[in-house]
Homo-oligomer: A and B are copies of this chain.
Amino acid sequence: MTGRTAVTMTYAELPNKLVSAANGIDYAYREAGDGGVPLVLLQHFRGNLDNWDPALIDALAPGRRVVTFDNTGVGGSSGETPDTVGQMARDAIAFITALGLGPVDILGFSIGSFVAQQIALIRPAIVRRMVLASSAPEGAAGMHGWAPEVIGAVGAPQTSPEGYLGVFFTRSPASQRAGQEALRRMYARTEDRDTPTTWETREAQYDAVCTWGIPDHSLLQRPTCIQVPVFVANGDSDPMILPHYSHLLAGLIPQARLKIYPDSAHGFLFQHHAEFARDVDKFLARPGDGKAA
Contact = CB atoms under 8 A, between A and B. Distances in A.
Q: How many copies does the complex hold?
A: 2
Contacts of A226: none
Given A217-B224, A236-B293, A247 B242 contact: no
A224 B141 contact: yes
Contact of A217 (B221, B243, B251, B254): B221
A245 B292 CA distance: 10
Nearest to A215: B224
B236 A244 contact: no
A250 B248 CA distance: 7
Contact of A247 (B141, B224, B247): B247
Contact of A142 (B140, B244, B254): B254
B251 A245 contact: yes
A172 interface: no
A249 interface: yes
B254 A250 contact: no
Given A243-B292, A245-B251, A248-B248, 6 more contacts: A236-B293, A247-B247, A247-B258, A249-B251, A250-B251, A251-B252
11 contacts: A243-B293, A244-B250, A244-B251, A244-B256, A244-B293, A245-B251, A247-B250, A247-B258, A248-B251, A248-B252, A249-B251
